[in-house]
């Protein structure tokens, strides 16, 4: 630490940043005691007979019991989806199909607060994010793809797109509703039917989405929701009557899925892990860059596949940047996800907390310097303070492995070539950030960074019109935009 860092570390959190509690009301959410599986337009008892509680990570409160689907349940869902596919969903007049999807978008907007509160309860993310990011974007995705439903022939010049059939979609726990929208919206627009497997720890908003399907009068069986753990996901991927597999999650599981579909005709898209570099040049607008760094890694507790988890700072501005960063981190408010002032919520699960702790421990053992601002973490629930590691070597686990938590690893560079070399030095290639005021440098860095999304002088922006997906071991296929449609069509 430099002298100035030490001084900064001792300074208390400025009183201007102490806020009275401002919790969002839970009353808007009405939960059932227990949920079956949503198959063929109805909630049905799981043939597996298995139920487990969905737990709020911020309080360890059991919110509701949720069915864990087994092989028979997955089969029933695929049969229902196949029947809906054969019974006319793809041959509906495309304009009518578009209108049904538009309705979903509108209903999600109307019920946005209910979904946002439930998302924060079940997943632990701050209400500010579920309210301002997850739900508006989820609705926007449905609205965007609704418009494609009756314009598919314009999306692919000189080709005739056809729906694939039954799409098996497995989504993660970090953005449950948004990932649902990314998967379901383009699948429906292209005329497919869906079996969706929400994440084990965040099934509740997907189950509430079943009610949106009812309100929108989506035909029975067009979207089926099988909750459960990895066993249900595995059964779904292996099911012989599935035509398409779309998975968002870890690279490790993604590889297993790619192996599982080997030798079949199933179309596959994978959106996997990342270890994005956020590169700060010495001519960057530093205060903005620090906001971008914080947004890059502490947004959604760092549970973001494209999180800017490696900070690459040009040596000449290293001291200044780290000082500003630590000061900014000291103002992050960690706590109740339903509090409207909260910046960093709860870690999604005990298992994830343990993984973060293990990797942070490895960082300390390998020799990096750790900094955490003072913050009072709630006693119940799973929490991890915003963390930054300095003095990190490229070979450290915290510089190579995806932590998926609020943990930033800082490395330095001298030249643009060195920045590119280091930024690209992982098996991943999902995202990258560049901060500089020099236009030509932005463009050259954007070209040379091997990543599917490059944010220049911004970070963690998403939009339904903007394709998202990875290079290398971060997966293949794109979600969002015109390119996102391609994942759900075949061509004659």
Partner 1 sequence: LTRLPVAKTYKLFIGGAFPRSESGRSYEIEGANVALGSRKDVRDAVRAAREAFPKWAGMTAYNRGQVLYRVAEIMEGRRAQFEELIGDQAEVDAAIDTWVWYAGWADKLAQVLGTSNPVAGPYFNFTIPEPTGVAGIVAPEESPLLGLVERVAPALVGGNVVVVLASERRPLAAITLAEVLATSDVPGGAVNVLTGRKSELCPVLAGHMDVNALDLAGSVGDSTELERLAADNVKRVVRNGDGYSPWHAAAFLELKTVWHPIGV
Question: Annotated active-site positions, please?
Answer: 271, 305
Q: Which of 2, 331, 415, 465 binds partner 1 (CB under 8 A)?
A: 465
CB atoms within 10 A of CB 155: 16
Closest CA to 222 of 89, 97, 109: 89
Q: In whole angstroms, how close is the CB of 158 to partner 1 at the nearest point?
A: 8
Residue 92 tokens read as 């509906």
Spatial separation of the C-alpha atoms in residues 101 and 415, rounded to whole Å: 49
Query: Under rule CB under 8 A, which residues in 419-438 are in contact with partner 1?
Result: 427
Q: Which of 176, 221, 228, 452 binds partner 1 (CB under 8 A)?
A: 452
**63 touching partner 1, by CB under 8 A:** no
Which alpha helices (DSSP H) does 50-151 contain, by range? 71-86, 94-110, 112-123, 127-129, 135-148
Residue 159 tokens read as 């080709």
Query: Under rule CB under 8 A, which residues in 265-304 are in contact with partner 1?
Result: 270, 272
Site string for partner 1, 212-251 (x = CB under 8 A): ---------------------------------------x
Q: Which of 38, 89, 476, 488 binds partner 1 (CB under 8 A)?
A: 476
Stretch that binds partner 1, among 27-35, 78-86, 256-264, 341-349 (CB under 8 A): 256-264
Judged by beta carbon, residue 243 or residue 339, the one nearer partner 1 is 243
DSSP output for 285-345: -HHHHHHHHHHHHHGGGG--TT---EEEEEGGGHHHHHHHHHHHHTT--BS-TTBTT-SB-
Q: In whole angstroms, how close is the CB of 482 to partner 1 at the nearest point?
A: 6
**Measured in Å, how far apart are the chain's first and last C-alpha atoms?**
63
Spatial separation of the C-alpha atoms in residues 275 and 399, rounded to whole Å: 8
Query: Could you tell me how many residues of this chain bind partner 1 (CB under 8 A)?
Result: 44
Spatial separation of the C-alpha atoms in residues 397 and 393, rounded to whole Å: 9
**485 touching partner 1, by CB under 8 A:** no
**7 touching partner 1, by CB under 8 A:** no
Per the document, the length of the chain is 492
**17 touching partner 1, by CB under 8 A:** no
Q: Which of 456, 485, 487, 489 binds partner 1 (CB under 8 A)?
A: 456
HEC assignment per residue over 160-171: CEEECCEEEEEC
**To 5 degrees, how large is the angle CA 121–CA 475–CA 115?**
20
Judged by beta carbon, residue 52 or residue 448, the one nearer partner 1 is 448
Q: Which residues bind partner 1 (CB under 8 A)?
A: 140, 157-159, 251, 254-256, 258-259, 262-263, 270, 272, 427, 442, 446-447, 451-458, 461, 463, 465-469, 471-476, 478, 481-483, 491
């Amino acid at each position: 630490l430099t002298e100035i860092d030490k001084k900064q570390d001792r300074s208390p959190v400025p009183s201007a940043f102490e806020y009275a509690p401002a919790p969002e009301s839970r009353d808007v959410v009405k939960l059932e005691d227990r949920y079956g599986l949503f198959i063929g337009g109805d909630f049905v008892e799981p043939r597996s007979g298995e139920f487990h509680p969905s737990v709020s990570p911020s309080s360890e409160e059991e919110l509701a019991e949720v069915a864990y689907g087994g092989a028979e349940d997955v089969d029933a869902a695929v049969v229902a989806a196949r029947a809906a596919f054969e019974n006319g969903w793809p041959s509906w007049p495309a304009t009518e199909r578009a209108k049904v999807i538009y309705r979903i978008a509108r209903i999600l907007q109307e019920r946005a607060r209910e979904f946002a509160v439930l998302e924060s309860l079940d997943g632990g993310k701050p209400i500010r994010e579920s309210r301002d990011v997850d739900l508006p974007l989820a609705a926007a995705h449905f609205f965007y793809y609704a418009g494609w439903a009756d314009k598919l022939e314009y999306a692919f010049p000189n080709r005739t797109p056809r729906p694939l059939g039954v799409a098996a979609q497995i989504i993660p726990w970090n953005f449950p509703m948004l990932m649902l929208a990314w998967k379901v919206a383009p699948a429906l627009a292209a005329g497919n039917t869906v079996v969706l497997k929400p994440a084990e720890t965040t099934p509740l908003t997907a189950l509430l989405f079943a009610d949106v399907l009812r309100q929108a009068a989506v035909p029975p069986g067009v979207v089926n929701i099988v909750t459960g753990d990895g066993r249900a996901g595995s059964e779904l991927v292996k099911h012989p009557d599935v035509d398409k597999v779309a998975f968002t999650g870890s690279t490790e599981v993604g590889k297993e899925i790619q192996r599982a579909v080997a030798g079949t005709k199933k179309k596959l898209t994978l959106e996997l892990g990342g270890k994005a570099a956020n590169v700060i040049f010495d001519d960057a607008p530093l205060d903005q860059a620090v906001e971008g760094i914080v947004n890059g890694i502490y947004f959604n507790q760092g549970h973001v596949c494209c999180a800017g988890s490696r900070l690459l700072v040009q040596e000449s501005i290293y001291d200044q940047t780290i000082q500003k960063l630590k000061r900014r981190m000291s103002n992050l408010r960690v706590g109740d996800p339903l509090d409207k002032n909260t910046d960093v919520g709860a870690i999604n699960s005990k298992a994830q907390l343990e993984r973060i702790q293990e990797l942070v421990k490895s960082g300390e053992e390998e020799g990096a310097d750790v900094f955490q601002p003072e913050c009072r973490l709630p006693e119940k629930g799973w929490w991890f303070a915003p963390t930054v590691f300095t003095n990190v070597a490229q070979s450290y686990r915290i510089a190579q492995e995806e932590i998926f938590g609020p943990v930033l690893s800082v490395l330095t560079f001298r030249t643009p070539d060195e920045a590119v070399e280091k930024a690209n030095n992982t098996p991943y290639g999902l995202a990258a950030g560049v901060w500089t005021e020099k236009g030509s440098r932005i463009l050259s860095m954007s070209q040379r960074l091997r990543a599917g999304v490059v944010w220049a002088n911004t970070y963690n922006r998403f939009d339904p019109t903007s394709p998202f997906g990875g290079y290398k071991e971060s997966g293949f296929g794109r979600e969002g935009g015109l390119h996102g449609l391609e994942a759900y069509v075949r061509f004659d």
